[in-house]
């Protein structure tokens, strides 16, 4: 007999994206069932680069302190030309989000920490060796058949979040097409251990026009090598230990026992046509696949679940509309498309083997050195566009809003250290809570922060006044600007003090009752 498991959200797939989704959903007060067809988390070091926005999410989940010990923080990249000459050295600009712009990590370590985090949350029911099959979507709930050693079960949920990878069975069952193509060139990825010495904080892209290669450093003796396969080479030949040691020999000497993993892959550059069908949402590789050259695949997935978790939770708890959940696609898909295109463009630079074109490329990159603006654009990695929502759960600012505040709408809020009246310095996110918040910029560097009541019931009471000692918001000091910040730390609206309530009202089409004081609080306020 089938057993029925009732929950708020079913998450399919316990990779890093599914595990992060489960934690974020649970922290918004919903019940989660997480199913994974494997027997545990992966021990394969797949993703290797992580951005400040992803680290900020890990900080929110509560694992950043433990994770940082196993990460090579604040890294950049060096690009070498066909003669081995240094073409460019790039590194993200000054960090805005409270974490280094780019770092190198080990995926098994991250998955282990995220698994611990899910196990610490009583609202998450994790079921390994459990595969999701048929999905039946109804007007108010989804029924998903799952099978494990105990037999067949039905998970009845309000939403399903599919984080089940590039070959997503959920996406296939729903018939959602992918737009894009598959990269022609094959690459071998090799992870090695026992690399001596301290790692340099730069990945190396060897655009030599013969056998392009990528070298990525790590901590604790870890290092990754990627080499483009040449015509006539096959997976069995190049993954043999003797072939691997020969390819790596120009960079370091290894023995067969130093090889942690070796695999041949073909990169895909595809984005799902729809991120939502009914009550089912796609996230991570299920929604988009991209070449590794920009290091954005895992980071795009983390952005996905940070965007959708609070929206789904709001709908489950009756605080958000169906239209709010629909903004997930309009906000996330355009940026995923941008990241796929960027990855393709970087790949074309790295993989070029035409002698004439590689010479032209090297000359063009060298010429950037005499054009300061172009050089700063490249070396500061400004080509890596940050998300900017113009369509979704955001409100266009009124004409009377100060320009610096208006420019923040649809963008991720900075996370500086701010000073409490006790003199202690704390990260801004610790004061924003897990729901909506309002920042009011009054005289000098003082900022009033209030967690909004009503919409998510996360309010912790009255406002807290802090000092922006780092000057992160200096253009807003003393302007009277009000920023309305979403649970995912994106700015939904900017207003003047007089326009604050109108902005909150405008957001009510997605989050009815946002900022409305409970009746009891209003009475207390009126009697004081």
Instruction: Point out the residues of the chain with pLDDT beneath 50.
Output: 455-459, 517-528
Contact 309, 28 (CB under 8 A): yes
For residue 79, how far is the Cα from the chain centroid?
A: 25
The helix, strand and coil proportions of the chain, stated in percent and rounded to the nearest 5, come to 30, 25, 40
* Cβ neighbours for 179, distance < 8 A, ≥ 6 positions apart: 270, 271, 272, 273
Evaluate the CA torsion angle 241, 246, 252, 255 in order and state its sign: positive
Distance CA 321, CA 324 (A): 5
Contact 206, 80 (CB under 8 A): yes
Evaluate the CA torsion angle 236, 238, 239, 241 in order and state its sign: positive
Instruction: Name the 3-class secondary structure at 330.
Output: helix
Helix intervals (H) in 317-428: 322-351, 355-367, 372-379, 403-406
User: What pLDDT is attached to residue 372?
Assistant: 63
Pairing of strands 437-441, 482-485: antiparallel
Distance CA 524, CA 528 (A): 6
The full set of domain ranges for the chain reads: 4-342, 403-514
Distance CA 224, CA 150 (A): 40
Domain 4-342 in CATH 3.30.450.20 = no
User: What pLDDT is attached to residue 358?
Assistant: 87
Place of tokens 């990779």: 15
Please give the structure tokens belonging to residue 91: 């590194």
pTM: 0.92
Evaluate the CA torsion angle 55, 56, 57, 60 in order and state its sign: positive
Instruction: Name the 3-class secondary structure at 459.
Output: coil
Strand partners, 268: 182
Residue 64 burial class via C-beta count within 10 angstroms: exposed 0-12, middle 13-18, buried 19 and up: middle
Distance CA 259, CA 412 (A): 40
Distance CA 346, CA 296 (A): 12
Pairing of strands 178-192, 259-272: antiparallel
Please give the structure tokens belonging to residue 34: 């997480």
Residue 52 burial class via C-beta count within 10 angstroms: exposed 0-12, middle 13-18, buried 19 and up: buried
pLDDT digits (tens, 9 = 90+) for 208-224: 999 999 999 999 999 99
Distance CA 230, CA 242 (A): 17
What CATH code would you report for 403-514? 3.40.30
**Helix H or strand E encompassing 159:** strand 159-162
Distance CA 28, CA 485 (A): 16
**Helix H or strand E encompassing 186:** strand 178-192
Count other Cβ atoms within 10 Å, centred on residue 6. Answer: 12
Pairing of strands 280-282, 159-162: parallel
Place of tokens 């590794």: 292
> What DSSP string runs through 76-124?
EEEEE-TTS-EEEEE---S-SSSS-SEEE--HHHHHHHHHHHHHT-TTE
Q: State the DSSP code for 72.
A: B
Please give the structure tokens belonging to residue 359: 């010479």
pLDDT digits (tens, 9 = 90+) for 100-111: 999 999 999 999
Please work out, in degrees rounded to the nearest 5, the angle formed at the alpha carbon of residue 388 by the alpha carbons of 507 and 165. Answer: 100
Strand partners, 136: 143
Q: State the DSSP code for 199.
A: P
């Amino acid at each position: 007999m089938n057993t029925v498991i009732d929950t708020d959200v079913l998450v399919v797939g316990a990779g890093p994206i599914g595990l992060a989704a489960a934690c974020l959903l649970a922290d918004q007060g919903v019940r989660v069932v997480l199913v994974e067809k494997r027997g545990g988390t992966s021990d394969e070091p797949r993703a290797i680069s992580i951005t400040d926005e992803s680290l900020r999410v890990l900080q929110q989940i509560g694992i950043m302190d433990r994770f940082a010990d196993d990460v090579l923080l604040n890294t950049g990249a060096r690009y070498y030309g066909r003669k081995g000459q240094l073409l460019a050295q790039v590194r993200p600009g000054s960090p805005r989000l409270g974490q280094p712009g780019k770092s190198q990590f080990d995926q098994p370590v991250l998955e282990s920490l995220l698994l611990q985090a899910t196990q610490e949350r009583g609202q998450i029911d994790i079921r390994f060796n459990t595969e999701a099959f048929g999905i039946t979507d109804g007007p108010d709930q989804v029924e998903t058949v799952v099978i494990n050693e105990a037999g067949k079960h039905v998970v009845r949920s309000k939403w399903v979040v599919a984080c089940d990878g590039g070959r997503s069975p959920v996406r296939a069952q729903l018939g959602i097409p992918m737009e894009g193509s598959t990269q022609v060139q094959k690459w071998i990825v090799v992870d090695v251990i026992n690399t001596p010495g301290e790692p340099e904080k730069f990945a190396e892209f060897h655009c030599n026009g013969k056998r392009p290669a990528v070298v990525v450093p790590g901590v604790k003796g870890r290092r990754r090598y990627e080499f483009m396969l040449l015509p006539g080479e096959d997976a069995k030949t190049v993954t043999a230990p003797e072939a691997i040691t020969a390819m790596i020999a120009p960079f370091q000497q290894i023995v067969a026992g130093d090889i942690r993993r070796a695999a041949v892959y073909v990169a895909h550059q595809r984005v799902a046509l729809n991120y939502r069908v009914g009550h089912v949402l796609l996230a991570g590789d299920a929604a988009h696949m991209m070449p590794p050259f920009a290091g954005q695949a895992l980071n795009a997935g983390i952005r996905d679940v940070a965007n959708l978790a609070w929206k789904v939770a709001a709908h489950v708890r009756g605080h958000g509309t169906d239209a709010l959940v629909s903004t997930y696609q309009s906000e996330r898909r355009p940026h995923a498309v941008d990241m796929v295109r960027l990855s393709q463009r970087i790949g074309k630079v790295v993989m070029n083997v035409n002698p004439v074109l590689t010479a032209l490329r090297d000359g063009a990159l060298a010429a950037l050195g005499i054009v300061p603006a172009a050089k700063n654009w490249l070396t500061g990695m400004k080509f890596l566009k940050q998300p900017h929502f113009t369509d979704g759960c955001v409100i266009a600012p009124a004409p009377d809003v100060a320009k610096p505040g208006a420019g923040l709408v649809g963008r991720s809020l900075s996370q500086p250290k701010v000073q409490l009246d006790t003199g202690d310095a704390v990260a801004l996110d610790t004061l924003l809570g897990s729901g909506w918040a309002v920042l009011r910029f009054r005289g000098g560097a003082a900022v009033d922060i209030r967690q909004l009541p009503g919409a998510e019931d996360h309010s912790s009471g009255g406002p807290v006044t802090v000092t922006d000692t780092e000057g992160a918001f200096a253009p807003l000091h003393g302007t009277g600007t009000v920023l309305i910040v979403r649970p995912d730390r994106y700015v939904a609206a900017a207003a003047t003090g007089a326009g604050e309530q109108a902005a909150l009202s405008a957001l009510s089409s997605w989050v009815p009752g946002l900022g409305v004081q409970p009746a009891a609080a209003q009475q207390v306020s009126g009697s004081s």
